[in-house]
Copies of this chain bind each other. A is one copy, B any other.
């Protein structure tokens, strides 16, 4: 059937741009067993988790400010007040994954804990790896439900990248990038170093680049064209002969540059790509209509 175009590229969906901070687990562990804590913390840190050991219960508000993904607690630490605490936390922080990890217990106790809102109940002694898997399962399930938050907009030179809209702008005017153009731009802006064509291709298309494939070059050309149309005085994508491309916003001082060159000033290629600028609109930036018109003609002509 025609619907079975299964060979289509998974490329689009594959590039989740905002993986960094999102997938990092932030969790707190309320326990008093030093050995357990040590083993666990070692493993968690190896995984790159943000890990916070607790020896006493924190208020719900305190937990809120910690922006946790998960809380592991040993009910034994709290004694009889533990049930109330568990219930309170689960009710107050419905988005928090709560895993009870405690010593031997009865079925009734486990049922009670789960009914109060715990997401899982692990009996100590347990293997750290298993506990972590259980935590991850709970967090995973929770994350799936919440709307993924994409990266905030970033500005480079005169352009602004908006991952939430799959688009780049100059002075609030869209550059009209296609999906693939945007992905390449987004990839380039996300890395300060030179990216080889094969690297770009593999990360955008999802599979290895065939020898002699010029697709990346063509897309870079289109990108440059649109960037130039919207922001003519800047140079964004630099070619590294025989290697690949590198993103770095650089102003083309049409006159000053020549002067510099004559004078011997080495302003030619400052390696330093400044950190993303906060304000994308320098005073001398062209009016919206100008930018739009340039873009129009560039695309039409």
Inside 8 A of A4's CB, which chain B residues have their CB? 211-212
Is A133 in contact with B145, judged by CB distance below 8 angstroms?
no
CB contact under 8 A between A179 and B271, given known A6-B211, A115-B133, A293-B266:
no
Inside 8 A of A176's CB, which chain B residues have their CB? 268
Interface residues as binary, A125-160 with B (CB distance below 8 Å gives 1, 0 otherwise): 001011001101110111011111010000000000
Most chain B CB inside 10 Å of its own CB: which residue of A3, A145, A269: A145
Give which listed residue, B146, B193, B270, B292, contacts A265 with CB less than 8 A.
Answer: B292
Q: Is A173 an interface residue (CB 8 A)?
A: yes
Is A272 in contact with B172, judged by CB distance below 8 angstroms?
yes
CB contact under 8 A between A196 and B12, given known A147-B191, A173-B268, A242-B179:
yes
Rounded to whole angstroms, the CA-CA distance of A268 and B292 in the bound complex is 7
Interface residues as binary, A16-57 with B (CB distance below 8 Å gives 1, 0 otherwise): 000000000000000000000000000000000000000000
CB contact under 8 A between A130 and B145, given known A120-B120, A196-B12, A265-B292:
no
Number of copies of this chain that the complex holds? 2
Rounded to whole angstroms, the CA-CA distance of A292 and B266 in the bound complex is 6
Give the A interface residue count (CB, 8 A). Answer: 78
Interface residues as binary, A252-271 with B (CB distance below 8 Å gives 1, 0 otherwise): 00000000000011101111
Rounded to whole angstroms, the CA-CA distance of A269 and B192 in the bound complex is 30
Inside 8 A of A13's CB, which chain B residues have their CB? 196, 198
Give which listed residue, B179, B265, B266, B296, contacts A241 with CB less than 8 A.
Answer: B179
Rounded to whole angstroms, the CA-CA distance of A126 and B120 in the bound complex is 15
List 15 A-B residue pairs with CB atoms under 8 Å apart, sorted by A's residue number: A3-B212, A4-B211, A12-B196, A12-B243, A111-B133, A114-B133, A115-B136, A120-B137, A150-B193, A162-B271, A165-B194, A169-B271, A172-B271, A174-B269, A266-B293
3 A-B pairs with the lowest CB-CB distances in the bound complex, closest first: A145-B145, A179-B242, A164-B193
